[in-house]
Amino acid sequence: MLVPPFSPPLVSLQNEIARRNRQQVRAGQRFAFGENWQRFLACLDEARIGEAEASLREMLHVTDLRNRTFLDVGSGSGLFSLAAMRLGAARVHSFDFDPQCVACAQTLKQRFFPRADRWTIDCGDILSVEYLATVPQADIVYCWGMLHQTGQMWQALENTLRLVVPGGLVYLSIYNHQPLLTPCWIAVKRLYNRLPHGLRWPLVLGYLAVKTPLLMARDIVTNHGERRRASAGQRRGMSRFHDAADWIGGYPHQTAKPESVFRFVRDRGFVLTDLTTVGGGSGCNQFVFKRVESCGSCI
């Protein structure tokens, strides 16, 4: 039985989840994702929202989300919950471990859908069995760039799959594993979160100073910059600067090879319907899986 919304036990649980997040951020064990996304909202405009909507339509192979429920696991800025609402989802539920991310989603709801009962927002934890007991399954479960930052990626993925209704879709993105570079990036991310705030931005700016010319050169050489930028999952309505801060600071940090993710999800009763990889490089591999009607291991 689901806990009624805003019941005292659920409020108490959400407060405890928020407290644990703040404690981990203060200890340098976790990146303050919400701080970054609150700054991002200042540059959110109609064009970025449109890009987010387009990326959902493209990867999910739909024109809209009418008559479908949408669950945003680790909602971050709340942009994709907003996109789902604008695509006509019957119900949207957003939750995030970071209370400042929750505040971002609440800001977007207040700005665009202030009276919408069909959009609910929680401070929640994908690793909390107690919290997940309050979350209804959904037709579409969206989890972009969050599972690998829980510290328990495979358990978080297992829990996410259980939130998909039979016949429903799950849209995942997980950082690609690079045997030589991944340990180096983990060291950089750990350092970032232990530095005083004033010493963190030089790392982000240095990263952008190196990466931006490389991306421009690749676009010129391959002659497909516009197509690449327009493709789902490359921009998604996000900001390059805020994505860079998220990348440098994003900690905890785990990675996986695409074939490992595929096998893990397949063995739990899902079939792959779409895949976009980074070709062995850095960044997120993206997957869309469909849960088959009889998925005994997911129940």
Residue pLDDT, tens place only, 114-153 = 999 999 999 999 999 999 999 999 999 999 989 999 999 9
What own/partner pairs with CB < 8 Å and gap ≥ 24 does 211-218 have?
211/244, 212/240
Domain boundaries along the sequence of the chain = 8-178+251-298
Q: Which residues, other chains included, contact 17 with Cβ-Cβ below 8 Å and sequence gap of 6+?
A: 97, 123, 124, 125, 128, 131
Q: What is the pLDDT of residues 161-202, one digit of tens each?
A: 999 999 999 999 999 999 999 999 899 888 888 888 778 777
pLDDT value, residue 2: 45
* Sign of CA pseudo-dihedral 59, 62, 64, 67: negative
Q: Which helix (H) or strand (E) holds 93?
A: strand 91-96
Report the percent of the chain where pLDDT is more than 90.
65
The Cα–Cα gap between 4 and 1 comes to: 9
- The side-by-side arrangement of strands in the sheet containing 164-175 is 119-123, 91-96, 69-73, 138-144, 164-175, 284-291, 270-276
The pLDDT confidence band at residue 233, using thresholds 50, 70 and 90, is very low
For residue 256, the 8-state DSSP code is: B
Residues 46-67 have a mean pLDDT of: 96
Q: The whole model's pTM is what?
A: 0.84
Select from 3.40.50.150, 1.10.10.10, 3.60.70.12, 3.40.50.620 the CATH code of 8-178+251-298. Answer: 3.40.50.150
> Do residues 118 and 94 touch, judged by C-beta distance below 8 A?
no
Residues 88-98 have a mean pLDDT of: 97
> Do residues 118 and 90 touch, judged by C-beta distance below 8 A?
yes
pLDDT at 271 over 80: yes
2 exposed, middle or buried (CB, 10 Å; 0-12, 13-18, 19+)? exposed
pLDDT value, residue 37: 87
pLDDT value, residue 180: 93
The Cα–Cα gap between 87 and 283 comes to: 27
pLDDT value, residue 207: 72
pLDDT at 31 over 80: yes
Question: Per mean pLDDT, which range of 6-15, 38-47, 91-100, 183-192 is the poorest?
Answer: 6-15
